[in-house]
Amino acid sequence: MKYFSLNHDAPEVSFQEAVIKGLAPDKGLYFPKSINQLPKSFFDNIESLDDVSIAYEAIKQFVGDEIPQTDLKDILEDVLSFDFPVVELNDSISALELYHGPTMAFKDVGARFMARCLGYFNGQKETKENVTVLVATSGDTGGAVASGFLGVNGVEVVILYPSGKVSDIQEKQLTTLGQNITALEVEGVFDDCQAMVKRAFLDKDFHNKRKLTSANSINIARWLPQMFYYFFAYKALKHKGKDLVFSVPSGNYGNICAGMMAQKLGLPIQHFVTGTNANDVIPQYLKTGNYTTKSSVATISNAMDVGAPSNFIRIKELHDGSFELLKKNLSGYSYSDVETLEAINYLKERSDYVADPHGAIGYLALKDYLAGNRNVQGVFLETAHPIKFLPVMPNSIADKLEIPTQIKSILYLKKRSIQIHDYEQLKDYLLP
């Protein structure tokens, strides 16, 4: 498989090169040169397949022969070592829980897949090359990347996160592990962190001095494995015989973009819904046709506090650059913090279901879409465990939440971070 830059001014690269580079030299995101639909027989018989077999069929064309079948299946077996339950709330709405992994966030799958791919590639080289994974986080990415890459030989991880704008538990997950993980606490917002990361990739001063790659969803090995969730949900709900609609709480738009890739592979998805907070760039675009990024604002659903979503260019590519095609496939809604809290309370009272602030927004967006679209099966993605957002959860719910084992293990560890406020300080750290 070859990958090209969506800025169309860089050489095509292999899967391995795209994973290691992260971002193309022309600042573009990598995108597969070809996408081949899976055979109808795969979907007809999906109930008989386990998660690893489903994931292998979905991802193998994008990896090609760069990782042998046996090794790729071993990687997937390791990555998919936890459950992805679909919880039915009523006849037309289900929640797809993606938080049962080691850091209790949906990003565990992509981070673990990328880490193991890099580990495999590093193990094949006679001369070992050290790689620095440079990643920006608005909340859950940092913890997932830290956990996924912990102890991987030849890989150093440097995580940039906005000071005071991630939850206490999220901060613990990315600042307490040590070993090959370093956290840089940035005076600013997520977009500042993301801009620094992108700038570093393009800084020629790093050439031949430090090899950088990204573990944000701009990296294909972080982005593409998120397809798996949609296949698993289809398998669980196929017996209902209804068209599927997925509502995805979205910030950088990697997760919903991966779902659209699954749809491109032939997965029968009728429609996508994006739910956002006050950072409503995409819902506004869908209303007006004008794409205008803006500075992000802080909300209680902090993982979606993104004002310039990186993966939207891939979404446009998947729809041939056509606004009309995209609008037929995607609806968008945004909600205030007050509405988000009301939804959390409503779900608990009516369905005895505890959603985190991001999942609550996914639910609200799905409910609004279903109001005008009957006879479909709606699925909203519950992307992180509610325990990670205790300070903003309603007290009546927060007080009764049990702390999972994954969280207990880090609560009393000491935070270690390095404070920076601009790109030059990041550069000084990376090139002392």
Distances (CA, A) of 188 to 191, 253, 309, 340: 8, 21, 17, 24
CA-wise closest residue to 402 among 27, 104, 122:
104
Sequence-distant (≥ 6) Cβ neighbours of residue 124 within 8 angstroms: none
The arrangement of strands across the sheet holding 13-14 comes to 13-14, 2-5, 30-32
The active-site residue out of 40, 73, 107, 287 is 107
Task: At 417, give phi and psi (nearest 5°).
Answer: -145, 160
Q: Cα torsion for 289, 290, 291, 294, to the nearest 10°?
A: -140
Q: Report the b/e string of 231-242 with b at 16+ CB within 10 A.
A: bbbbbbbbeeee
Give the pairing of strands 418-420 and 181-186.
parallel
273 with 366: CB under 8 angstroms?
yes
Rounded to the nearest 10 degrees, what angle do helices 51-63 and 228-237 cross at?
140
DSSP state of 219: S
Q: How far is 423 from 201, CA to CA, in rounded Å?
A: 12
- Is residue 107 part of the annotated active site? The answer reads yes
Q: How far is 127 from 10, CA to CA, in rounded Å?
A: 27
Sequence-distant (≥ 6) Cβ neighbours of residue 398 within 8 angstroms: 390
Q: How far is 169 from 147, CA to CA, in rounded Å?
A: 14
Catalogue the active-site residues. Answer: 107
